[in-house]
């Protein structure tokens, strides 16, 4: 019941009762089947597996003879299935199957983290540099947790003797080499702000007839991004990051060069983003040049 109604078709163990793209009728049918299966007598599945172990008539049946495949391509040993009736059946560990679900969970987490940033500051109304920095910190906090969990999943697959080349293949096929390389080395890649999102800030400001708040926030975001790269996925989470805009008087935020430094619990003496990442004539550059300096190549 939890699988169907609370987890929306997702099993507690990681599989799914139905595909999200199934029709409503198919979802209903699979849901009923899932409930019926859960109410079967304790030995019903055991008899099914035992039957599969007997089905291969081309070979003599023995304690190590494998029967035909089930719906997942699994075979069963007659001796092992017989032991199941006294609660002694061996359950093989198959991390390669679970890893597929872990990769999908990681990808959903990355998408959700991006949305934490864009939906908060690109609603269409006025926003502020302070709100942009807050949203970026929150998005990276969620992204770090999601990536940290994925890193632990990859390490767990190794512990369960899944071949490294098979782990690499699955992750690279679905997420790319860069993701596999960084995650497997416990390197965190902070949220990247795409050109489309940057353009959306400017378009929204133009529509409202206001100054683009992203211009003032950009150096701080770049500094936060640079320092988050240094936090390994072996940590529990990112350190506390103080938003420097929270200390500025309203309504004037002042020029970027006057912003106080960003302080984190891990390194309270880190220097200001303008001192580290941008040239002294930053305010005289074109908007395109500013974006290239702040976000190009990261």
Best-predicted range by mean pLDDT (49-53, 70-74, 82-86, 214-218): 214-218
pLDDT at residue 205, as a whole number: 92
Q: Which of the pair, 37 or 245, is modelled with greater confidence?
A: 245
Looking at the predicted structure, is the pLDDT value of residue 128 above 50?
A: yes
Looking at the predicted structure, is the pLDDT value of residue 275 above 70?
A: no
CA distance 178 to 187: 11
DSSP per position, the chain = -IIIIISTTB-TTS-BSS-TTS-HHHHHHHHHHHHHHHTS-TTHHHHHHHHHHHH-TTS---TT-B----TTS---BHHHHHHGGGT-------HHHHHHHHHHHHHHHHHHHHHHHHHHH-SSS---HHHHHHHHHHHHHHHHHHHHHHHHHHHHHHHTT--HHHHHHHHHHHH-HHHHHHHHTTB--PPP--HHHHHHHHHHHHHHT---HHHHHHHHHHHHHHHHTTSBTTSSSPPPEE-GGGGSPSS----GGGPPPPEESS-TTPPPHHHHTS-TTGGGS-HHHHHHHHHTT-
CA distance 263 to 117: 21
pLDDT at residue 278, as a whole number: 40
Looking at the predicted structure, is the pLDDT value of residue 191 above 90?
A: yes
Least confident stretch, 28-42, 90-104, 121-135, 137-151? 28-42
Arithmetic mean of pLDDT, 165-187? 94
Residue 69 dihedral angles phi and psi, to the nearest 5°: -80, 150
Arithmetic mean of pLDDT, 172-190? 94
Best-predicted range by mean pLDDT (27-31, 248-252, 272-276): 27-31
pLDDT at residue 189, as a whole number: 95
Cα–Cα distances in Å, from 282 out to 54, 154, 273?
76, 42, 12
pLDDT at residue 28, as a whole number: 78
61-116 residue pLDDT tens: 444 444 444 444 455 454 444 444 445 555 667 788 889 999 999 999 999 999 99
Looking at the predicted structure, is the pLDDT value of residue 142 above 90?
A: yes
pLDDT at residue 168, as a whole number: 94
pLDDT at residue 19, as a whole number: 73
pLDDT at residue 48, as a whole number: 54
pLDDT at residue 18, as a whole number: 73
% residues pLDDT > 70 (the chain):
62
Instruction: State the Cα torsion 273-274-279-283 to the nearest 10°.
Output: 130
Confirm if 200 and 122 have CB atoms less than 8 A apart: yes
250 band by pLDDT with thresholds 50, 70 and 90: low
Beta strands 263-264 and 241-242, pairing class: antiparallel
Q: How many CA atoms lie within 13 A of 256 on its CB side?
A: 26
Tokens encoding 210: 């206001």
Cα–Cα distances in Å, from 235 out to 120, 151, 152, 171?
27, 11, 11, 22
Mean pLDDT, the chain, as a whole number?
74
22-35: burial string, b at 16+ Cβ within 10 Å, e else = eeeeebeebbeebe
Query: 16 - beta bridge partners?
Result: 10
Burial of 297 per CB tally in 10 Å (0-12, 13-18, 19+): exposed
pTM of the prediction?
0.59
% residues pLDDT > 90 (the chain):
44
User: Could you tell me the residue ranges of all domains in the chain?
Assistant: 2-86, 95-295
Looking at the predicted structure, is the pLDDT value of residue 265 above 50?
A: no
Arithmetic mean of pLDDT, 277-291? 52
Looking at the predicted structure, is the pLDDT value of residue 165 above 50?
A: yes
């Amino acid at each position: 019941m939890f699988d169907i109604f609370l987890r929306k078709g997702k099993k507690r163990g990681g599989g799914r009762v139905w595909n999200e793209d199934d029709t409503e009728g198919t979802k209903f049918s699979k849901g009923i089947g899932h409930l019926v299966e859960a109410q079967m007598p304790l030995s019903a599945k055991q008899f099914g597996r035992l039957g599969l172990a007997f089905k291969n008539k081309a070979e003599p049946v023995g304690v190590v003879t494998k029967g035909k495949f089930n719906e997942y391509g699994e075979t069963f040993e007659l001796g092992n299935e017989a032991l199941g009736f006294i609660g002694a059946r061996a359950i093989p560990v198959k991390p390669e199957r679970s890893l597929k679900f872990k990769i999908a969970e990681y990808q959903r987490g990355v998408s959700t983290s991006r949305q934490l940033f864009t939906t908060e500051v690109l609603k269409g109304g006025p926003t502020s540099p302070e709100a942009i920095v807050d949203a970026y910190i929150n998005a990276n906090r969620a992204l770090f947790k999601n990536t940290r969990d994925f890193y632990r999943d990859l390490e767990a697959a190794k512990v369960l003797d899944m071949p490294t080349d098979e782990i690499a293949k699955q992750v690279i096929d679905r997420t790319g080499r860069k993701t596999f390389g960084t995650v497997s080395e416990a390197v965190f890649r902070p949220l990247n702000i795409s050109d489309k999102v940057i353009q959306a800030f400017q378009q929204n400001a133009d529509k409202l007839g206001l100054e683009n708040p992203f211009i003032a926030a950009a150096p701080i975001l770049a500094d936060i991004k640079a320092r988050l790269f240094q936090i390994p996925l072996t940590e529990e989470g990112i350190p506390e990051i103080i938003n420097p805009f929270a200390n500025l008087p309203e309504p004037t935020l002042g020029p970027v060069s006057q912003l106080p430094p960003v302080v984190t619990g891990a390194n309270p003496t880190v220097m200001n983003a303008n001192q580290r990442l941008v040239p002294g004539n930053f305010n005289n550059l074109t908007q395109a040049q500013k974006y290239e300096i702040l976000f190009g190549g990261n």
